[in-house]
Amino acid sequence: MYRVNEIFYSLQGEGFWTGTPMVFVRFSGCNLKCSFCDTEHASFMPMSAAGILDAVRMAGGECRRVCLTGGEPALQLDEELICVLHSAGYKLHIETNGTRCLPEGLDWITVSPKDQAVGPLGKVVLEKADEVKLVLAPGVEPSAWEMYPATWHFLQPCDVGDPTRNRELLRQTLDYIHTHPLWRLSLQTHKLLGIR
């Protein structure tokens, strides 16, 4: 059984696929403790792979893209769930902190390393990804991720809940991108639009 926080249909709000309709399967639980995490880890529903497939079908209708997110989905994701969703015709995206190995068969991998992911409690073990989405928060150094083998590099200002501080983090993000053109800007467009 998988510990699922929620399953819902929306638009991808961040990174390469921004604006694309997706069904989000948000797993509960994580191996890191990020202050800006938007997942309620204490609540979850135990679900089977077949139950997740049924919920994805009900939530997304004709949509054929699923984003596996969390928390940290790599703590629970396995070949069974990938096989069940692929067999039903879904393309599978994952957003992971990169500190756990992934099963084979994912169609798009987003590594979103956190500041803790380079410390003693966790280290990015994934050797490559389709995209890196780095959240620029105090103490995060983007240059450390410029050599990471990904097709796309996105820098996203952290939402710290303080409008003044958020504006400063956005300015720092824009300044960094201007002087380091490897990076592209990612915004949490779902929050800007007031959608999930």
Annotated catalytic residues are 24, 30, 34, 37-39, 95, 190
Q: Residue 45 is encoded by which pair of tokens?
A: 């529903």
Whole-number Å distance between alpha carbons of 140 and 144: 9
Nearest residue to 102 (alpha-carbon basis) of 132, 68, 74: 74
CA 163, 5, 130, 194 dihedral sign is: negative
